[in-house]
A and B are shown apart, each in its own frame.
Chain A
Amino acid sequence: MLKQSLADLAIFGGAREFEDPKPISNLPRPSFETFCEYLEIAYANGQLTGGGELVARLERRLAEFHDVEHCVAFSSGFWALAAVMKTLSREGRSEIVMPSLTYRRMADIAGWAGLKPRFCEVDPATMTNTATCVLPCLNDDTAMIVGVHPINGLADIGGLVELASARGLPLVFDSVESVYECFHGERIGRFGRAEVFSLGASKLLNGFEGGYVTTRSDEVAESLRQTLLTPTTSLAEGSVKFNAILSEVHAAMALACLDDIDSQVIRNKGRYFAYKSGLRGLRGVRLLEFDESDRPGYKNIIVEVMPEWPLSRDDTIAVLNAEMILARAYYPQPLHARKMGFPHIPCSLPTTERLATRFALLPCGELVTPADISRICDLLQFLSKNGEAAKDRLAKRQTT
């Protein structure tokens, strides 16, 4: 439906553009029949968790997919990263360098691992923590460097690998947003000491919940496997343990999604190009374009709200949310600005703080069609023409 006047906007009492919410989560839905076929294997084996055939198969297929020697599955990307931090960080040291403009729980993971986050800036062009950003944060207490692939693009892999090697520091990558991507023809998953991925439902591979770590190192793989608690773990085993087992049901779902991944990327690409077409010529909103040479998964859509756009990023999101267009800030609050209940290194990061007010994620994934995208872009066009009036009306609402 085309909005004709401000009164048509849902935030001012008009009808919502969509009845059903349009989320930013990927939510891939594989073939149900394929999922059931995998589930039946677990049933025939009489084993629904605790390291069964499906988890083993998933690990082999993911190792193959990422062209690495090893893959270790976990109950979530969160706990996979916690395991990596706890087992691979340099002993006797306590700081972990990570960007602040990233996943909202990244610092908490470090807290659980007993490490102190030292936040670094990101490069404003790529929004990643490059070697240049990380270098000033390194000292004699640095235990680990975390390189984070942003939602669009790749981290400074070459620079970080060189820096970590020169300093004798373990480098791990949070690669949750870059499952499908390649770097100079090599699959993401092959770099650093280890790379961490998520199988959460909002990700490219939906395992209901889940996570995995890829590594080329036998030693790293073995030490990660040793962290997984079994019902018969004894206290005599010295390594850190926790229960982060991936169930066979979750593995079945992830396998079914893996079977469909190429088709899913094609669908994602269709949505991306629908946005590219719909936002063309729209002044004030810049679509962050994918670098085709990275072989992207086109999973998420990010836009930058430019100075000439009539509304702030947050007001724009509020207007969209009222229409059931569940746009979200990317990222709403940088980590270094949050209150943390564990030791960390306080800092000021002006570039990060500026970037944190400018970017938004737009709806994408399996619940969003190209027709939906066309309507979203039409709404943005409407806001472009009527934004100043909307801004005034929003301001009046806030003062009354």
Chain B
Amino acid sequence: MMNHTSPRMPTSRKGMTYMPGFEALVQSMRGIFERQYYTEHGPLVRQLEQELIASTGAAHAVCVTNEFVALLMLLNTLPDRAEIIVPALAPAWIHKALSDWFPSLSISAYDLDPLTLQLDLQSLLDAVRPNTRAVLVVNNWAGAAPMVALRRELEPRGVQVFAESTSSFGQTSSGQGIGSLGTAELFSLHHSNVFSAIEGAFISTNDADLADALRTMRSSSGVVRTMPVKKTVNGRMSEAHAAFAHLSLQQQPCLRELLLKQRKVYVESLNGISGLSLLMPWGVDAPAPSGDIVCRISESEFGCTGQELTRRLATAGYDARHNMALSPRATSGDWPGAHSILRDTVLLPMGARYSDQEINAAACAVRAVSLSR
């Protein structure tokens, strides 16, 4: 039985959900009303793209409606019936995007490394076949896969390396900006992320042809060179969302500091719990917390699996789900890394509107589970 008196965090409030000062947002919106330029690659979107180029070190940044649309656009550049290799364990929406919207693509999977929480390089390389045209890497929890090594191996074989890099925004790996390492990289700007546009996303790439193809697909405005594309979309980001992104970008140093502070509270509060390790991101030059506190649970020492801890925290009102799911291509076969991460990983809640007291309360709830075994 849980025994803590601290307030509970509502389960619906997970994520950064940063809210700038209302007056600052109103000021941005006033500018949009004065210009009467509401969408169609307006000045705020154009300026945001330039800032994202500077942040990532990539040559191009294409702002779009949201990350789901961004992934659809990227997959739309692949030939029909091409093969793409995806992580055996990835955010559920990625698997849904592939299965629901690209039935003609052939999908296979690669395993993850439970120590780094990133891709298992050998597993990925073993999965590559003559028809493979792309791999999708997910840079999990502010870490980074070995993208340079991967591209060196795969591009001579005609395989593009796409990466989902939301949680690693602002980081570098081997001295290069995350966003500039893959053939193309996706970043969600959903409100739950540290850097947010409320709804939105961007795709970064150094490939001018790919960037122009994405712009051609996205909308009629902002097209530099018209490229042949299989289908277009409405992939526009509005000026309103771009305005919010600018405010969020300005707040990044403060938000990162808040994350560090919340991490410190967790470190102190969870200290000494047997079988629980707080993990730092792997593969980046200066590991820093993203919007998640990632824990590995050792069942034999802690007393239950990470999945069981997640369930028990949910009962107590704390959302510790990682929302990762096994690829439908990984429901049979041997995926030890993916299964290990699925079973053992817990994300503890944190965000812009959680107080130290609330963070402490979540930590107490974890400690209560460990004591109750």
Chain A residues near B (Cβ < 8 Å): 27, 29, 32, 35-36, 39-40, 43, 46, 48-50, 75-79, 105, 108, 111-112, 114, 200-201, 206, 208-209, 229, 231-235, 240-245, 247-250, 253, 339-342, 366-367
What separation, in Å, do the CA atoms of A367 and B35 have in the docked complex? 11
Q: Is B230 an interface residue (CB 8 A)?
A: yes
CB atoms of A233 and B93 under 8 A apart: yes
Pairs of residues from A and B, 8 with the lowest C-beta to C-beta distance, nearest first: A341-B230, A78-B234, A243-B68, A201-B38, A208-B238, A76-B234, A108-B231, A240-B100
Given contacts A43-B22, A233-B96, contact A114 B103 (CB under 8 A): yes
What separation, in Å, do the CA atoms of A253 and B33 have in the docked complex? 11
* A-chain residues with CB within 8 Å of residue B198 when the two chains form the complex: 48-49, 247-249
CB atoms of A247 and B199 under 8 A apart: yes
CB atoms of A209 and B65 under 8 A apart: yes
* A-chain residues with CB within 8 Å of residue B30 when the two chains form the complex: 32
CB atoms of B39 and A48 under 8 A apart: no
Given contacts A46-B19, A242-B68, contact A32 B191 (CB under 8 A): no
- How many A-B pairs have beta carbons closer than 8 Å: the answer is 135
What separation, in Å, do the CA atoms of A234 and B26 have in the docked complex? 36
* B-chain residues with CB within 8 Å of residue A367 when the two chains form the complex: 36
B9-23: which residues lie under 8 A (CB-CB) from chain A? 13-15, 17, 19, 22
For residue A211, give the distance in angstroms from its CB to the closest CB of chain B: 9
* A-chain residues with CB within 8 Å of residue B241 when the two chains form the complex: 208, 247, 249
In the complex, given contacts A229-B96, A342-B230, what are 8 additional A-B residue pairs having Cβ atoms less than 8 angstroms apart? A39-B29, A43-B19, A77-B234, A78-B234, A209-B236, A209-B238, A247-B199, A366-B36
* B-chain residues with CB within 8 Å of residue A339 when the two chains form the complex: 228
CB atoms of A253 and B65 under 8 A apart: no
Q: Who on chain B is nearest to A32 by CB? A: B33
What separation, in Å, do the CA atoms of A76 and B40 have in the docked complex? 13
* A-chain residues with CB within 8 Å of residue B238 when the two chains form the complex: 208-209, 250
What separation, in Å, do the CA atoms of A234 and B191 have in the docked complex? 20
CB atoms of A39 and B25 under 8 A apart: yes
Q: Could you list 12 examples of A-B contacts with CB < 8 Å?
A: A35-B33, A49-B191, A105-B232, A108-B232, A112-B233, A209-B238, A229-B93, A231-B14, A231-B15, A233-B92, A242-B101, A253-B240
Q: Who on chain A is nearest to B17 by CB? A: A46
Q: Who on chain A is nearest to B197 by CB? A: A247
What separation, in Å, do the CA atoms of A200 and B236 have in the docked complex? 10
What sequence of 0s and 1s flags, for each residue 310-345 of chain B, a beta carbon within 8 Å of any chain A beta carbon? 000000000001010110100000000000000000
What separation, in Å, do the CA atoms of A233 and B22 have in the docked complex? 31
> Given B67, B230, B328, which contacts A243 in the complex, CB threshold below 8 Å?
B67
Given contacts A49-B191, A201-B38, A235-B325, contact A245 B199 (CB under 8 A): yes
CB atoms of A78 and B25 under 8 A apart: no
Q: Who on chain A is nearest to B233 by CB? A: A78
What sequence of 0s and 1s flags, for each residue 162-206 of chain B, a beta carbon within 8 Å of any chain A beta carbon? 000000000000000000000000000011100000110000000
CB atoms of A35 and B39 under 8 A apart: no
Interface centre among A78, A234, A235 (most CB of B within 10 A): A235
For residue B86, give the distance in angstroms from its CB to the closest CB of chain A: 13
For residue B33, give the distance in angstroms from its CB to the closest CB of chain A: 5
* B-chain residues with CB within 8 Å of residue A240 when the two chains form the complex: 100
CB atoms of A108 and B192 under 8 A apart: no
CB atoms of A111 and B231 under 8 A apart: yes
What separation, in Å, do the CA atoms of A322 and B33 have in the docked complex? 27
CB atoms of B96 and A235 under 8 A apart: yes
For residue A31, give the distance in angstroms from its CB to the closest CB of chain B: 10
What separation, in Å, do the CA atoms of A231 and B67 have in the docked complex? 12
* A-chain residues with CB within 8 Å of residue B230 when the two chains form the complex: 111, 341-342
> Given A27, A49, A243, which contacts B93 in the complex, CB threshold below 8 Å?
A243
For residue B27, give the distance in angstroms from its CB to the closest CB of chain A: 11
Q: Is B353 an interface residue (CB 8 A)?
A: yes
> Given A29, A79, A114, which contacts B234 in the complex, CB threshold below 8 Å?
A79
* B-chain residues with CB within 8 Å of residue A341 when the two chains form the complex: 228-231
Q: Is B69 an interface residue (CB 8 A)?
A: yes
Given contacts A46-B17, A48-B198, A209-B39, contact A112 B68 (CB under 8 A): no
* B-chain residues with CB within 8 Å of residue A77 when the two chains form the complex: 234
What separation, in Å, do the CA atoms of A253 and B39 have in the docked complex? 13
* A-chain residues with CB within 8 Å of residue B14 when the two chains form the complex: 231
For residue B21, give the distance in angstroms from its CB to the closest CB of chain A: 10
CB atoms of B192 and A231 under 8 A apart: yes
For residue A305, give the distance in angstroms from its CB to the closest CB of chain B: 23
For residue A367, give the distance in angstroms from its CB to the closest CB of chain B: 7
What separation, in Å, do the CA atoms of A367 and B19 have in the docked complex? 33
Q: Is B270 an interface residue (CB 8 A)?
A: no
What separation, in Å, do the CA atoms of A200 and B38 have in the docked complex? 9
Given contacts A76-B234, A242-B101, A249-B244, contact A36 B96 (CB under 8 A): no
* B-chain residues with CB within 8 Å of residue A232 when the two chains form the complex: 321, 323
Q: Is B133 an interface residue (CB 8 A)?
A: no
* A-chain residues with CB within 8 Å of residue B95 when the two chains form the complex: 235
What separation, in Å, do the CA atoms of A399 and B238 have in the docked complex? 42
* B-chain residues with CB within 8 Å of residue A49 when the two chains form the complex: 190-191, 198-199
* A-chain residues with CB within 8 Å of residue B101 when the two chains form the complex: 112, 242
What sequence of 0s and 1s flags, for each residue 47-89 of chain B, a beta carbon within 8 Å of any chain A beta carbon? 0000000000000000001111100100000000000000000
> Given A36, A112, A201, A366, which contacts B40 in the complex, CB threshold below 8 Å?
A201
CB atoms of A29 and B33 under 8 A apart: yes
Q: Who on chain B is nearest to A242 by CB? A: B68
Given contacts A112-B233, A235-B92, A341-B231, contact A208 B239 (CB under 8 A): yes
* B-chain residues with CB within 8 Å of residue A209 when the two chains form the complex: 39, 65, 234, 236, 238
* B-chain residues with CB within 8 Å of residue A29 when the two chains form the complex: 33, 36
* B-chain residues with CB within 8 Å of residue A244 when the two chains form the complex: 68
What separation, in Å, do the CA atoms of A374 and B49 have in the docked complex? 40
What separation, in Å, do the CA atoms of A146 and B239 have in the docked complex? 31
Q: Is B97 an interface residue (CB 8 A)?
A: yes
For residue B339, give the distance in angstroms from its CB to the closest CB of chain A: 15
* A-chain residues with CB within 8 Å of residue B19 when the two chains form the complex: 43, 46, 48
* B-chain residues with CB within 8 Å of residue A111 when the two chains form the complex: 230-231
For residue B28, give the distance in angstroms from its CB to the closest CB of chain A: 11
What separation, in Å, do the CA atoms of A240 and B68 have in the docked complex? 13
> Given A36, A208, A229, A249, which contacts B68 in the complex, CB threshold below 8 Å?
A229
* A-chain residues with CB within 8 Å of residue B72 when the two chains form the complex: 112, 242
* A-chain residues with CB within 8 Å of residue B69 when the two chains form the complex: 79, 243
What separation, in Å, do the CA atoms of A50 and B192 have in the docked complex? 10
